[in-house]
Amino acid sequence: MRVQILMRLFLSPANRAYLREMANEFGASPGQLREELGQLADAEIVRSEKVGRQVYYRANEEHALFPELSSMVRKALGMDYILESIIRRLGKLERAALIDDYAEGRDTGIIDLALLGDINHVNLTDLTRKAEKYLGRKIRTLVYESNDRKRFEETVRERPALIIWDK
């Protein structure tokens, strides 16, 4: 369960989550989760913030281990593999964003990407198929041509999004 918590909070550290939300997401009891979160908070790896009756948790970006934990989460989810392949093979990529569930730190098994640029669609199809096998997750892409920057920006603004590449 600790790994799930770290993946949830460190994939997108700007987001926060509350106890019941994570308990439902992980299929765990709130008591078990409270204990794990308490230990992580005691070690100052996560921060807690009370808002009304809810206690929200988020990654502590000031902790000395934050860069390493964040990097490990991205590697575990294959983000480093996806990003490297995208940049190298897709053509003239201008921006890439992880959107929806993964941008919020939830591993639902479907990775949604929004891509902006002059993308080589043959390479994208090939890359997606290979990355899905490598990661064991489904990948869905939204491709916006360079002249469609406004729609890309609207998608990133209106949905949970985490920019993973910006030229």
Does the pTM surpass 0.85? The reply is no
Boundary-marking domain end, from 71, 95, 121? 71
Strand 161-166 with 138-144, pairing: unpaired
Q: b/e for 112-128, b at 16 or more Cβ within 10 A? A: bbbbbbebeeeebeebb
Q: Report the number of distinct structural domains present in the chain.
A: 2
Residue-wise pLDDT for 20-43, tens only, equals 888 887 788 999 899 989 999 999
Residue 74: per-residue pLDDT: 73
Tokens of 146: 């360079």
Q: 35 and 100, same structural domain?
A: no
Which of 167, 121, 113, 119 has its CA nearest to residue 147? 119
Residue 86: per-residue pLDDT: 65
Q: 157 and 140, same structural domain?
A: yes
Residue-wise pLDDT for 81-103, tens only, equals 666 666 677 888 899 888 998 88
CB 118 within 8 A of CB 164: no
Q: 160 and 90, same structural domain?
A: yes
Residue 49: per-residue pLDDT: 92
Neighbours of 98 (CB within 10 A): 25
pLDDT at 140 over 90: yes
Domain range for residue 117? 77-166
Q: Give the confidence band of 65 by pLDDT, cuts at 50, 70, 90.
A: confident
Residue 125 CA, distance from chain mean position: 22
Looking up residue 81, the CATH number of its domain turns out to be 3.30.460.10
What does the pLDDT average to over 149-167?
89
Average pLDDT, rounded, for the chain: 86
Cβ neighbours for 106, distance < 8 A, ≥ 6 positions apart: 8, 25
Residue 83: per-residue pLDDT: 63
